[in-house]
Every structure is written in structure tokens, then in C-alpha cells.
Amino acid sequence: MIHSKLCLTIKILVLVVFAVVVAVVAAAAEVVVIIVVVVVVFAVVVVVIVAAAAEVVVIIVVAVVVVVVVVVVVVVVVVVVVVVVVVV
């Protein structure tokens, strides 16, 4: 029980540090980068929350789904930006 709470605390601390780094990067980046970073942070948060209260199989499934969603969103954002840049 103590071990799982320690792991959860470490995960949350890592997530907070990651979020701070993301905020700093996003503050000096373009809108597209900010969107991608927000999606990735959201994916990490979902994985951490599910991982804290789930079995290994569920964690793997959720991680795969989140990665697929992130990749799709990134591709869509890149395509939209390319189209906008080319058209404008």
C-alpha cells in the first residue's frame, strides 16, 4: 500500500515537472506547438490517472489508444497548418 502511494506521488511529481516544462516551452512557441503540447499533456494525465488505479493490461490498452489519438491529432494539426500556409 505504501509502495503504491509512493509510486503515485512520484508519477504526480514527474507530471507536474513535465507540465511546468511544457508551460515554459509553450510560452515561447507557436500556436501549433501549444496545441500539440496540450494534447500530449492531456494524454499523459489520462495515462497516469488510469495507471494509478488499473491493471497492467488496462494500462497498456489505454496507453496504445492515447498514443493513437495523439498521433492522429498531431497529423490533423500539421495537415491543417500546411494547408493554411499553402493557401494563404
Q: Which domain holds residue 39?
A: 2-87
pTM greater than the 0.75 cutoff:
no
φ, ψ of residue 35 in degrees (nearest 5): -60, -50
| Number of compact structural domains in the chain | 1
Helix, strand, or coil (residue 35)? helix
Which of these, 40, 37, 42, lies nearest to 24 by C-alpha position? 37
* Alpha helices (H) along 1-88: 2-27, 31-52, 56-87
Q: Which residues of the chain register pLDDT less than 70?
A: 1-8, 13, 16, 19-34, 51-60, 88
pLDDT in tens, 55-72: 666 666 777 777 777 777
What pLDDT shows up at residue 28? Answer: 57
- Asked if 22 and 37 touch (Cβ cutoff 8 Å), the reply is yes
